[in-house]
Structure 1
Amino acid sequence: MALNQNSPQVEDGYIRIANSLLEAIISFGFTQRELLVLMAIMRKTYGFNKKADDMSASQIATLCNMARSHVTTTLGSLASRNIITKKTGRFGSVIGIQKDHRKWINQDLFKGNLSGTELVQGATDSVQGIDGDESGRNFAPETPPFAPEAASLLNSDGTDSVHPDTESVHVPEKYLTGTDSVQVDGTDSVHTKDTIPKDTKQKTSSSSSGDDTLPCPVGSLVDFYHKLMPENPRCMVLDDSRKNAIRARWRAAAKLSVAPFGYQTREEGMEAWKTFFAYCAKSAFLTGRVPGREGKKPFRADIDFLFAPTKFRSAVEGKYHDGITPGQPGTSAQAGAAGRSSDPRFAGAK
């Protein structure tokens, strides 16, 4: 028989629950997440006339429209307080409601001397992750799933010392010292920011800078500039801004497919930049051998000019070499670089 979605009928299925148990659930002071998980457990058990059922955290999360990690934590809390029975199953955990609500352990017993910062931070979050409860319902705040004061309720092996007949719940030893997280046998483990493997953290924070594989010899490049272009302004202050600009051009030049650049090693890169500065030394414009306009001093390129992105590109493309042949000597640096005129990489440069 097809279900009538507009008018639910008990003939299509219903949950039988004792009034006293329902009233105990209503008045116990559960958090919103705990209530939703309890209702899901009742649907999977009492809804099929079962006392317990083999279910996974993912199934409950889907039914509650809740994050699976929240379900896992809530199940651990409820099990440690004797509100539900829980043991390892075939598909997840065999879970049922502890009908004798007199055996339930109230959350107040777990507060003890814990400070407010140790309480679960997501207590006011709704199931969809929106702050606050838009429906205006007054749910009790989330509490940590386990605390030092609860240790007296368990034997040394983690079994219940108050209610020995209740199905035992294994609690790892670390939770007997007040650790906030919960992990119960049969429950899927959840990683937090404190339990993420170190190698994963390192991968997310590792640098992808080109300096890691091809370090930039900043000092050497400045020396090449001074030696091969001695008439140009000297670099007196090598601050972070200039270092960053030099490193950026070093990385960019390594990827070019234009001579003399496109290097793969530090040594190849240093030779390429030597050639570049010697090439720039042949430019009348870059070395102050072009008269300034309107009586101004001739322009001489400084290190900031040569390492600026657009100026560097123009220099590589030969835009500053008009009227200068490769073999024409100029400064002493140009004379020292005359031998490079036969380099086929500069065959088309003036």
Structure 2
Amino acid sequence: MSNVVQLNKSQGFTRMDNDLYEALIGAELSGRELRVALAIHRLTVGYNVEEARIAASVIAEMSGIAREDVSRAICELIRQRVVYRTGGSRSPMGFAPVAEWAIDQKNTHPSKPKAVPQCGVSTTSIVAFPPHNKDSKDILVPSEPVGAERQPEQGDLISEPVRQPAKVEACPHQAIVDLFHEILPELPSVALLNKTRIQQLQARWRESKVHRDLDFWREYFGMVKSSDFLMGKVRGRGGDKPFRASFDWLIAPRNFVKVVEGNYHA
């Protein structure tokens, strides 16, 4: 009996270009980014098309990843030029040529050798002596052999090591506002960068590593510009007065997620 698994063509199968397949194997993508990339491949090449309109909710259902995390992974894949979009957040997606990929380097720094302790070493003793010992009376001999593990005794104070929180780069509030004015001059301008706006921007900046990049904000405002609804070019339901997004509306938490996922309606 052959150990080779036979391909059941009656159930269908997805072909993948060898260069793309090998590039994905060697790409330093996060696990979430790779799963989202494979889902995009399934929904494009798997249906014999180069690009397709794919909602984040569809990939979320396929992969079991939360929809907002799917949206962030898509933004990250676009930023690294693995995937491209032909327009805004609802535009078709497809894979960019492998030669154009610009994936971030992750965990590539070689480990450094441990520093050698500055002490004298004896070839006949298990006790390590401090260097430059001029007088034997100054030698401090430990009560237990070096390397022996001392068991805590009653009355000892045992404390856990303090872990320092990772520092997050400060939010470039004014640079984000400048991008808003540059890309969306049609929308109401920001005359005052007050405390409330600074707090909202800081919160969006800290939510994800993806957000801590001015290129993300440039693309985010580009999504807004491609939407006739958010730009006030179409009337709402029932012929209501056209809605125009403001800076405050765009950086509010619920609206921010809606724009990133393309989940807003007239």
TM bracket, shorter-chain basis: 0.3 to 0.5
Larger RCO (CA within 8 A; separation ≥ 6): 2
Instruction: Give the TM-score normalised by the residue count of structure 1.
Output: 0.32
| Structure with greater Cα Rg | 1
TM-score by length of 2: 0.41
